[in-house]
């Protein structure tokens, strides 16, 4: 019986509330007017965030493709060709980062940082990988930032038209740079293993020296950095371990095993690269 | 630039960053302390005796807000103003609490919703991002939502203290707030989570109003006029 009473009052309450909220919905109410303003402000912010996430995703995809392309340098004769092809791709990525810079014009970079940080890290990884293949050094933060200066002409996109050409810069934060470099080490490890597969003996030793330097750098930073850095340090150690093991194997067994057989020592899939004309031992 | 140089540059950046965060944390700690003091002053309105001297409590809270203004002034000097969102997390919580306290004081005084401009003025900060240290709109809204739960509690306690008119006024106010929040398209973020709690506050107050109405304790007849 008491249950029925409860039901009754629930229904009544509902109608009462409905009536009330309708009465309050009059647009003259200062509260409603204020919330309309908040609605606009929040919507604008969310829209911008979504757009940035989308651009960031595109940047990630294109950067990943560039990295895949760059991995082919170990197995082709003309390295320069691939490098220039990657350059073109990276230019495309930079255009996209230009769009991010455009979105962030007059905004606080850190307010939307979470929306585009994955893309930027991937870009750092790709561009520094490219730089390493060409120059065998680590690309510095300034060098990366120096290439992220965009000249924008006055485009009639129907939106706000900016008067005259303007310079837009995008500054990668040191933390994004650091995380990108940490990812780079993974790529270098893969490059090391695959270059061994192709009978390249010098690259692994260069790579292990370079990776060791980076590892020392990360150890120097230690846990003063953000949480993600210490997480990546663990993966970095694993990569370094693999490369060092590869170099070790090369030293110990390199003189015993014919070069084309080294492939089998490191990975079975590299066996397809073995020249079939050479006699098997 | 060699690898070592590069890493020592980044390390320098990181330690400078940590120093700033350390400074901010110190000021925020003091701010939290003051916020707790204000809350303690305002909490006493829930006591039966507290209902009589709400104005004096509000006055006392307003005095404490002077200290808050000093601390926010100090906080502003601790970091470059254009990097507000880089360190936002450090003061987000306390700023929401302060927005709540300011909103609560203003409600107790005038039974109206505090505007974002008023909160900013009470805390001696800006409304627009361009002008400096400002009150983020989400923090303001979060503060308003905290106040809503405080008001639902106040409605219950005011009945206990024999003030039957107040729950009806609170009910109208909360309903208006609720329809305001309905206008917002919230994403799945902390603000949305907090907003989801608002309906329980609304329900609680409506139950109080219902209890009063069926017993004829409500003085304002129009609230039950459609019966």
Nearest CA in chain A to B15: A224
- Domain B140-226 is in which class? mainly alpha
- Indicate if the pLDDT at residue A25 is higher than 80: no
Per-residue pLDDT band at A132 (split at 50, 70, 90): very high
What pLDDT does residue B138 have?
93
Percent of chain A with pLDDT over 90: 48
Q: How much is the average pLDDT of A234-249?
A: 90
**CA nearest to A119, candidates A51, A186, A167, A168:** A51
Residues belonging to chain B: 227
Question: Would you say the CATH fold of A173-275 matches that of A41-171?
Answer: yes
- Indicate if the pLDDT at residue A20 is higher than 80: no
Model pLDDT for residues B112-148, shown as the tens digit of each residue: 999 999 999 999 998 887 778 999 999 999 999 999 9
Domain ranges of chain B: 1-135, 140-226
Average confidence score pLDDT of chain A = 80
- Indicate if the pLDDT at residue B77 is higher than 60: yes
CB contact under 8 A, B86 and A174: no
Nearest to B10 among A43, A210, A221 (CB): A221
**Fold annotation for A173-275:** Methane Monooxygenase Hydroxylase; Chain G, domain 1 (1.20.58)
What pLDDT does residue A279 have?
45
Q: How much is the average pLDDT of A250-277?
A: 57
Interface residue A42 vs chain B (CB under 8 A): yes
Residue bearing the bigger pLDDT, A252 or A5:
A252
What pLDDT does residue A157 have?
45
The complex's ipTM works out to 0.86
Coil, strand, or helix at residue A75? coil
What pLDDT does residue A150 have?
86
CA torsion A152-A155-A157-A163 (nearest 10°) is 90
Q: How much is the average pLDDT of A64-87?
A: 89
- Indicate if the pLDDT at residue A181 is higher than 80: yes
Q: Is B167 exposed, middle or buried (0-12, 13-18, 19+ CB in 10 A)?
A: buried
* DSSP state string for A212-258: HHHHHHHHHHGGGS-HHHHHHHHHHHHHHHHHHHHHHHHHHHTTTS-
Distance CA B35, CA B5 (A): 45
Domain ranges of chain A: 41-171, 173-275
Distance CA A55, CA B157 (A): 52
The answer to whether B150 is a known ligand-binding residue is: yes
* DSSP state string for A14-70: HHHHHHHHHHHT-TT-HHHHHHHHHHHHHHHHHHHHHHHHHHHHHHHHHHHHHHHHH
Per-residue pLDDT band at A62 (split at 50, 70, 90): very high
Q: Give me the CATH code for the B1-135 domain, please.
A: 1.20.58.190
What pLDDT does residue B219 have?
60
Collect all residues of chain B within an 8 Å Cβ-Cβ radius of residue A215: none
What pLDDT does residue A178 have?
92
What pLDDT does residue A5 have?
42
Task: Report which DSSP code applies to A277.
Answer: T
The second-level CATH assignment, the architecture, of A41-171 is Up-down Bundle (1.20)
Residues 49-68 of A with CB under 8 A from B: none
The predicted model scores a pTM of 0.82
What pLDDT does residue A159 have?
44
CB contact under 8 A, A38 and B141: yes
Question: Would you say the CATH fold of B140-226 matches that of B1-135?
Answer: yes
Q: Which of B183, B192, B205 to mutate to test the interface with A (most CBs of A within 10 A)?
A: B183
Per-residue pLDDT band at A255 (split at 50, 70, 90): low
Q: How much is the average pLDDT of A270-280?
A: 43
Q: Are A247 and A208 in contact (CB under 8 A)?
A: yes
CB contact under 8 A, A15 and B84: no
Residues belonging to chain A: 281
Q: How much is the average pLDDT of B179-188?
A: 91
């Amino acid at each position: 019986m008491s249950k029925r009473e409860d039901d009754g009052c629930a229904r009544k309450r509902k109608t009462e509330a409905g009536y009330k909220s309708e009465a309050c919905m009059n647009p003259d109410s200062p509260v409603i007017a204020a919330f309309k303003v908040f609605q606009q402000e929040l919507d604008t912010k969310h829209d911008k965030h979504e757009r940035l996430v989308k651009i960031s995703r595109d940047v990630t995809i294109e950067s990943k493709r560039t990295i895949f392309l760059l991995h082919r340098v170990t197995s082709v004769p003309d390295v320069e060709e691939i490098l220039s092809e990657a350059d073109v791709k990276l230019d495309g990525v930079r255009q996209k980062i230009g769009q991010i810079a455009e979105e962030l014009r007059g905004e606080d970079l850190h307010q939307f940082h979470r929306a585009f940080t994955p893309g930027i890290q991937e870009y750092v990884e790709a561009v520094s990988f490219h730089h390493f293949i060409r120059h065998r050094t680590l690309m510095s933060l300034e060098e990366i930032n120096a290439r992220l200066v965009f000249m924008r002409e006055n485009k009639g996109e129907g939106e706000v038209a900016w008067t005259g050409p303007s310079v837009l810069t995008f500054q990668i934060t040191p933390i994004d740079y650091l995380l990108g470099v940490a990812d780079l080490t993974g790529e270098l490890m893969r490059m090391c293993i695959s270059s061994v597969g192709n009978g390249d003996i010098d690259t692994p030793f260069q790579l292990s020296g370079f990776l060791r330097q980076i590892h020392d750098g990360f150890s120097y930073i230690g846990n003063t950095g953000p949480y993600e850095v210490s997480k990546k340090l663990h993966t970095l150690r694993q990569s370094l371990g693999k490369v060092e093991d590869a170099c070790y194997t090369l030293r110990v067994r390199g003189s015993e095993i014919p070069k084309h057989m080294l492939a089998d020592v490191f990975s079975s899939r590299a066996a397809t690269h073995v020249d079939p004309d050479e006699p098997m031992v | 630039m060699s690898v070592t140089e590069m890493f020592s540059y980044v390390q320098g950046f990181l330690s400078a960053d940590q120093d700033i965060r350390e400074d901010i944390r110190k000021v925020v700690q003091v701010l939290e302390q003051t916020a707790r003091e204000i809350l303690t002053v305002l909490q006493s309105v829930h006591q039966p005796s507290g209902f009589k001297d709400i104005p004096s409590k509000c006055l006392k809270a307003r005095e404490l807000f002077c200290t808050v203004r000093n601390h926010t002034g100090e906080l502003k000097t601790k970091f470059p103003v254009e990097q507000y969102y880089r360190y936002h997390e450090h003061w987000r919580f306390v700023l929401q609490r302060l927005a709540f306290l300011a909103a609560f004081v203003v409600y107790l005084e005038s039974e109206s919703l505090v505007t974002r401009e008023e909160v900013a003025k009470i805390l001696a900060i800006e409304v627009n991002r361009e002008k400096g240290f400002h009150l983020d709109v989400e923090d303001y809204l979060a503060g308003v939502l905290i106040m809503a739960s405080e008001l639902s509690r106040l409605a219950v306690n005011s009945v206990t203290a024999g003030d039957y008119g107040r729950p009806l006024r609170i009910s109208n106010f909360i309903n208006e707030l609720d329809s305001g929040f309905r206008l917002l398209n919230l994403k799945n973020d902390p603000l949305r989570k907090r907003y989801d709690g608002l309906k329980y506050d609304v329900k609680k107050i409506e139950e109080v109003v219902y209890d009063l109405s069926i017993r004829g304790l409500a003085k304002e007849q129009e609230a039950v006029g459609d019966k």
